[in-house]
Each structure stands twice: as C-alpha cells, then as structure tokens.
C-alpha cells in the first residue's frame, strides 16, 4: 500500500468511518487541510502518550489523579458510577451533580463474557471503602446491559453494606446516557431512587 | 487545553465530524484502540510528507509521475478531465476507461472568485499540447458549478483547436460523480457526446 492507501486504511479505525468516508477524509486533508492533518497527527501521538486513567476514578487523566478527584470542594458523600468517560462528561455538564465519580470499563455483557470483574467491580469496592461515602448513584445506561450492570453493582455494594440508588426513569428507556439531553439527566438525578 | 481536548479539537478538521462525533472518536481511540491511534498518527504524518501531486496530471502521487501517467499501455488519444482525485478514482474503478487523466483543482465558482486560472486551465492547455491527443472528455460533475467548469474548459480547448466531449447525461443531474454508481458512470462514458 502506498501512503495514501495507508492513510485511508488507518482512518477506518475511527468509529462510524467506512471505506468511502475514509477516502473522502484523506482526500480532503491532502487537498485542502495539510495543516489540519499535521495537527491531528500530533494530537493523536500526544494523547496516546499522555492520557492515562485516574488512579481513583479511572476516567481519562494526564495526571495520576484527575481534576475532579483532586477537587476537595465536592461532596464526598456521593459517588456516581458511570459506564464511560463520555457518560461522566454528560452528567458533569448538567451542573446538577457535585459528588465524585467512578468510571467503569464499560458494562456487563454475559454473551461477550464481560462480567463484573472485567468492568471493574473490584476497584469500585475498593473505592467505596475509601472516604465518608453515604450513597452510590448507579448512573449506568437504561439499556438491558446497563440495567444488568446496575444490578450486579447493587448486589456487590449491598454485600458491603453500601447503599446504592439508580437515576430516576426520567431518562428515556433504551437510550445511551451520553445522548440524552441535559435537562432530562438533571431531572433524573434529582428523582433518583 | 489538555491533550484529550486537543485531540477532540483536532479531529474536527475531518469533514463531517462535529464536536459530538469528535468526542466519541477520541474516547473510542483512547479506551479501545490505542494501537489504531498510533497507526493513524503515523499514517497522517507519512501521507503529509510523501504524497504530492503528479507533475503531468496533478492527481495525488508519491512519485513525480503517478502510476497512470507512467503506464504507456494506455490510450494516449484520450484525456479525461475530472474535478478531484476522488472523481478520477470513481472513473477508474468503472474499468471502462483506458485513456489518461487530468485532475483539476476543484471547479469554477464565480461567487467564490474561483475561475479557470484557479482550477488549472493553463496547466490543462499545456497538457493537451503534449502528445497525440484526439479527444478531451470533460468528466466534471453535473452540478451547476461542474457544468460551468465544463463550459469554461470547452471554450479554452476550442480556442486551441482541441475537440472536447462531455459524459452522457446518464449521470443523474445534480449529483457528485464520486457518489454515482459505477454502472451509470460506465454507461455515460460510452455515450459521451
Ligand atoms: Zn479521578
Ligand atoms: Zn499523473
């Protein structure tokens, strides 16, 4: 493969990008935006090298502890458990949550052999021992797998005597949290059960 | 901006990628495909450094002359003029054209101040002097701007005594050549007028 073909091929690692889009992207960059291509190349390299996971909440972070975990002005009695950093960002953007987070490595999916261990239940249980926690808010998606994940987590937490709640069903059933409008999420947060 | 934010920002240089998609792409790469991110970073850098334009037909090429221009087994009596390398690739994939190509720098757009000079009419006229050319096939899009481009080129070529044809109107009016199915393009090529 020549360099152009390799670029088209490499662009297909992006989610939602097939052969046709990849070709269009490559042609666009080479014809109209070489500076953008250089910038993207550098940004990919830098992010790959510098972005790791927070030691405490497992979200993306360049430092050992992320900004939120370093912020001691938040409510240490609350911990919201989410499936992805994207879901965390959605919850954070509502502006109506002031506790801390724990970011799972996805959600359980028995058919794919992904259970509690794979998504980080052990790390979550370690985290809940650490600090004056009163409530764990299970903010996983309202999909079948998100519900199953919440169920697994609730059981594990109960065995440690930790109370967990679920976002209220204001969040439309069957939807990914990341794509829900902020108002709905904010409302669901207040009505958590 | 931190490295993650810079990556999201840089991904927006890709056509059709907004803030939301860029975020999803960045999260996906960092969470699930760091090897893909490294490969894409390298491919962008390599393509930027190595892919230039063919000296003869102006398509993308790593060498001074592209593969097609170096191939002396093609029909030197035919030259197809296209708007972009993507259109050239579409024409080439039909397998029904065996002549050479000339790739314009886009198409004329009087409102944006893009005329014959900007898209490479001078280079095209130089190219048609060079070789036993009998027919220039104007394979620009059947959009208003593509038609205007064909008109500008036909006039310029006529002034040099060079005969030009247009793809038959089998190509759906108002469509970009790149997105037309191969059979339609092949048919339009045979019926060129
Ligand atoms: Zn953290
Ligand atoms: Zn060439």
pLDDT over 90 percentage in chain A? 64
**Residue B179 confidence (pLDDT):** 79
Q: Which of B2, B11, B14, B27 to mutate to test the interface with A (most CBs of A within 10 A)?
A: B14
**Total count of residues recorded for chain A:** 193
Question: What average pLDDT does this structure show over B47-66?
Answer: 96
pLDDT over 90 percentage in chain B? 65
Question: What average pLDDT does this structure show over A40-57?
Answer: 96
Residue B193, pLDDT > 70, answer no
Segment B83-99, tens digit of pLDDT: 999 899 888 988 889 99
Distance CA A171, CA A77 (A): 23
Tell me which chain A residues have a C-beta less than 8 angstroms from the C-beta of B46.
3, 6-7
- The answer for residues whose C-beta is within 8 angstroms of residue A147's C-beta and 6 or more apart is A140
Of A40, A48, A62, the CB nearest to B38: A48
Question: What average pLDDT does this structure show over B31-36?
Answer: 93
Determine the residue of chain B that is closest to A46 in CA distance: B3
Of B181, B115, B190, B188, the closest CA to residue B153 belongs to B115
The DSSP secondary structure of A4-70, one letter per residue, reads: HHHHHHHHTTSTT--HHHHHHHHHHHHHH-HHHHHHHHHHHHHHHHH-EE-TTT-SEESSSS-HHHH
pLDDT, greater one: B180 or B15 = B15
Segment B60-87, tens digit of pLDDT: 999 999 999 999 999 999 999 999 998 9
Of A3, A44, A85, the CB nearest to B7: A44
By three-state DSSP, how is residue A100 classified? Answer: strand
Segment B92-143, tens digit of pLDDT: 988 889 999 999 988 899 888 888 888 999 999 999 988 789 999 999 988 8
- The answer for residues whose C-beta is within 8 angstroms of residue B114's C-beta and 6 or more apart is B106, B107, B108
- The answer for residues whose C-beta is within 8 angstroms of residue A26's C-beta and 6 or more apart is A4, A7, A8, A11, B47
Ranges of beta strands (E only) in B83-174 are 99-103, 135-138, 164-166
**Residue A173 confidence (pLDDT):** 67
**Residue B111 confidence (pLDDT):** 87
> Residue B166 C-alpha to ligand 1 middle, in angstroms?
62
Segment A166-182, tens digit of pLDDT: 887 666 667 777 777 77
Phi-psi region of A161 (alpha: psi -120 to 50; beta: other; left: phi over 0): left
Establish, for the pair of chains A and B, how many residue pairs have beta carbons separated by less than 8 Å.
Answer: 155
By three-state DSSP, how is residue A137 classified? Answer: strand
Interface confidence (ipTM) of the complex: 0.80
> Residue B58 C-alpha to ligand 2 middle, in angstroms?
6
B34 touches A: beta carbon within 8 Å? yes
**Residue A169 confidence (pLDDT):** 67
- Return the ligand number nearest the Cα of B56: 2
Of B15, B23, B33, the CB nearest to A24: B15
Distance CA B2, CA B175 (A): 42
- The answer for residues whose C-beta is within 8 angstroms of residue B71's C-beta and 6 or more apart is none
Query: Residue A13 in contact with residue B29, Cβ under 8 Å?
Result: yes
> Residue A101 C-alpha to ligand 1 middle, in angstroms?
7
Q: Which of A2, A6, A11, A14 to mutate to test the interface with B (most CBs of B within 10 A)?
A: A14
Helix (H) or strand (E) holding B138: strand B135-138
Q: Which of A122-126, B10-14, B131-135, B147-151 has the least mean pLDDT? A: B131-135
| Beta carbons of A44 and B50 less than 8 Å apart | no
Q: How far is CA A72 from CA A76, A98, A163, B120, in A?
A: 8, 11, 22, 62
Angle, alpha carbons B43-B46-B48 (nearest 5°): 105
Verdict on whether the full-model pTM lies above 0.90? no
**Residue A40 confidence (pLDDT):** 98
Residue A6, pLDDT > 70, answer yes
**Residue B52 confidence (pLDDT):** 95
pLDDT band at A67 (very low <50, low <70, confident <90, very high): very high
pLDDT band at B191 (very low <50, low <70, confident <90, very high): confident
The DSSP secondary structure of B165-182, one letter per residue, reads: EE--TTSPTT--GGGS-H
Segment A79-112, tens digit of pLDDT: 999 999 989 988 898 888 999 999 998 889 988 8
Tell me which chain A residues have a C-beta less than 8 angstroms from the C-beta of B85.
27, 31
Residue B169, pLDDT > 70, answer no
| Beta carbons of B21 and A26 less than 8 Å apart | no
**Total count of residues recorded for chain B:** 193
- Residue A73 DSSP symbol: T
Q: Which of B40, B53, B58, B89 to mutate to test the interface with A (most CBs of A within 10 A)?
A: B40
- The answer for residues whose C-beta is within 8 angstroms of residue B104's C-beta and 6 or more apart is B58, B81, B82, B83, B84, B119, B120, B124, B140, B149
Determine the residue of chain B that is closest to A6 in CA distance: B43
B29 touches A: beta carbon within 8 Å? yes
Segment A115-155, tens digit of pLDDT: 888 899 999 999 998 878 999 999 998 888 998 999 999 99
């Amino acid at each position: 493969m020549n360099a152009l073909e390799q670029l088209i091929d490499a662009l297909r690692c992006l989610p939602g990008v097939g052969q046709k889009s990849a070709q269009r992207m490559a042609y666009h960059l080479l014809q109209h935006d070489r500076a953008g291509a250089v910038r993207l190349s550098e940004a990919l390299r830098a992010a790959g090298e510098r972005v790791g996971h927070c030691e405490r909440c497992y979200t993306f972070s360049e430092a050992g502890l992320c900004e939120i975990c370093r912020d001691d002005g938040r409510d240490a009695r609350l911990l919201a458990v989410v499936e992805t950093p994207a879901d965390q960002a959605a919850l954070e953007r509502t502006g109506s949550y002031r506790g801390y987070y724990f970011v799972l490595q996805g959600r359980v999916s028995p058919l794919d052999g992904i259970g509690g261990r794979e998504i980080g239940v052990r790390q979550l249980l370690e985290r809940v021992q650490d600090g004056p926690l009163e409530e764990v808010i299970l903010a996983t998606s309202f999909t079948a797998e998100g519900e199953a994940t919440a169920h697994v987590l609730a059981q594990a937490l109960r065995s440690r005597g930790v109370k967990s709640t679920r976002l209220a069903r204001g969040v439309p059933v069957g939807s990914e949290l990341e794509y829900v409008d902020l108002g709905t999420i904010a409302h669901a947060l207040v009505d958590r059960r």
